[in-house]
Amino acid sequence: MIRRKEDEKILDMDASMEGSLVFSDPVNLRINGNFKGTLNAKGNLIIGENARVSADIVGESIIISGRVIGKIKATKSLKLTSTAEVEAEIETVSLSIEEGAILNGKINMLHNNMSLREVSEFLSIEESKILEWVNAGRMPAKREGENLFFDRKELEEWLNKNL
């Protein structure tokens, strides 16, 4: 069952599902049941203590308390609570692991500089539009020769002010 709690503004999923879930707008999503497939969420994603997830996950801020097998990309932060059991290839900027959590896999810590392609994927906006904003001075970026780089923290501050 999927329900939205108005007071907490959380989309709470307590069901067994298989497939692909994509949220292009920010959402606070909590999974308490079983999920298999792909999951792409903007905003906060919580994998509850009783959840069993086998998926490729892309999200901003992710907290895992249940069992997850797959690939995880957290563009802001990933937290494993003491009850988490994770077998995954992980990409994240920030990782927090509580005592008692179990983690097996590979971890790639993302750097603070992002390429044009990475920013395009992160924002789900075409590279040409991003270049237009940069060239007009509307979006922060740094040039090193032919290459364009975006500082992750500057980009997040810009996003909070402009989008």
Q: What is the domain partition of the chain in residue ranges?
A: 2-109, 113-162
State the pLDDT at residue 30: 92
What residues have CB less than 8 Å from 131, skipping those under 6 apart? 116, 148
State the pLDDT at residue 3: 45
Structure tokens at 104: 């097996």
State the pLDDT at residue 24: 76
Q: What is the pLDDT along the chain (163 residues), one digit of tens a residue?
A: 444 444 445 677 777 889 898 887 888 889 999 999 999 988 899 999 999 999 999 998 999 999 999 999 998 899 999 999 999 999 998 999 999 999 999 999 877 788 898 888 888 889 999 999 999 999 999 888 888 889 888 888 888 788 6
Angle at 77 between CA 71 and CA 80, to 5 degrees: 70
Distance CA 126, CA 30 (A): 29
Instruction: Give the 3-state secondary structure of residue 133.
Output: helix
Diameter over CA atoms, the chain: 52
The CATH number for 113-162, chosen from 1.10.3470, 3.40.50, 3.10.50, 1.10.10, is 1.10.10
